[in-house]
Amino acid sequence: MKILVAVKRVVDYAVKVRVKPDRTGVETANVKMSMNPFCEIAVEEALRLREAGAAAEVVAATIGPAQSADTLRTALAMGADRAVHVLHDPDPARPLLPLAVAKILRAVALQEKPGLVILGKQAIDDDCNQTGQMLAGLLQWPQGTFASKVLLDKEKQKATVEREVDGGIETICLKLPAVITTDLRLNQPRYATLPNIMKAKSKVIKKVTPEDLNVDIRSDMEVIEVTEPPKRKAGVILSSVDELLDKLKNEARVL
């Protein structure tokens, strides 16, 4: 069985983002970019499933401009076997929406015929939390979102997924092929070692365009403006618990 993993290049999670003065978006020029943390977890899980003998091949895919190839190289250095790069240079005013990404990934999935597609549960830039669910819907495959544990049964062609839901952990069972999205708790992604980074340079990245895949990219969403969130007014540092209780009771009136 083959596992397809979708990865996204985003502004590094530790960067304090700045809104552009013209309010068209967030400053991404000269900002450190990395693989979306949830996507790293997706790659790690696919590799672990391969190492456990549940899968034979791990294929990483991304959609984005030429620089996104770096993100694929990271996935290859972690241990993915090969990669597919769907080249798309987005118009900053019309970023690629999850629906378009899901349609492109469906086309890739129909070519690659994986038994499982693993994605992160959300990208930390748009915070949408949609692509995996949409891909599963388009493929008419079952979905196991927000996974914190995945067990594959090759014989029965089943996946048992523990999901992080409000109020606890839910366990569901999916018939393969299926789509799984990862939560933070699923695993601890490995670091790519230097020899593996060197080896990754000779692994194959296949380049295609949305046109090659016959996917029509349209957008039904317009970004009107991006603004800074309202600033909280400066607080005060108090000297004692008594003072705190007094303030909470008599000034903020929340106790």
Looking only at residues 54 through 83 of this chain, which bind another protein when binding is defined by CB under 8 A? none
Out of 91, 155, 216, 225, the only residue in the binding site for another protein (CB under 8 A) is: 225
Q: Which is nearer to another protein, 79 or 98 (CB)?
A: 98
Q: Name the residue nearer to another protein (CB basis): 52 or 165.
A: 165
Gyration radius (Cα) of the chain, Å: 21
Footprint (CB under 8 A) of another protein, residues 10-29: 11, 13-14, 16-17, 19, 26
Of 1, 151, 173, 217, which lies in the binding site for another protein, with binding defined by CB under 8 A? 173
Is 53 or 228 the residue whose CB approaches another protein more closely? 228
- Number of Cβ within 10 Å of residue 70's Cβ equals 13
Q: Least separation, in Å, of the C-beta of 184 and another protein?
A: 5
d(CA 68, CA 83): 11
- Strands 143-153 and 116-120, bridge-based pairing: unpaired
Name the residue nearer to another protein (CB basis): 202 or 227. 227
Q: Which of 44, 47, 183, 210 binds another protein (CB under 8 A)?
A: 183
Q: With binding defined as CB under 8 A, does residue 146 bind another protein?
A: yes
* Dist. CA 33–CA 62, nearest whole Å: 14
Report in angstroms the alpha-carbon separations of 172 from 125, 144, 145, 169: 29, 7, 10, 10
Helix or strand (DSSP H, E) at 83 = strand 82-87
Choosing from 29, 194, 204, 237, the residue that interacts with another protein (CB under 8 A) is 237
- CB hemisphere CA count around 225 (13 angstroms): 6
Smallest distance from another protein to CB 175, Å: 5
Q: Which stretch binds another protein (CB under 8 A): 56-64, 81-89, 107-115, 242-250?
A: 242-250
- Return the closest-CA partner of residue 57 out of 2, 4, 125: 2
* Least CB distance to another protein at residue 231 (A): 9
Among 12, 57, 112, 170, binds another protein (CB under 8 A): 170
Crossing angle (nearest 10°) for helices 131-139 and 98-112: 50
**Contact flag: residue 255 with another protein (CB under 8 A):** yes
Measured from the CB atom, the residue of 71 and 145 that comes closer to another protein is 145
**Residues 84-143 close enough to bind another protein by CB under 8 A:** 97-99, 102, 121-122, 124-138, 141-143
Site residue total, another protein (CB under 8 A) = 79
DSSP codes, 158-204: EEEEEEEETTEEEEEEEESSEEEEE-GGG--PPPPPHHHHHHHTTS-
Nearer to another protein, 56 or 226 (CB): 226
Residue 141 to residues 110, 180, 242, Cα–Cα distance (Å): 12, 10, 58
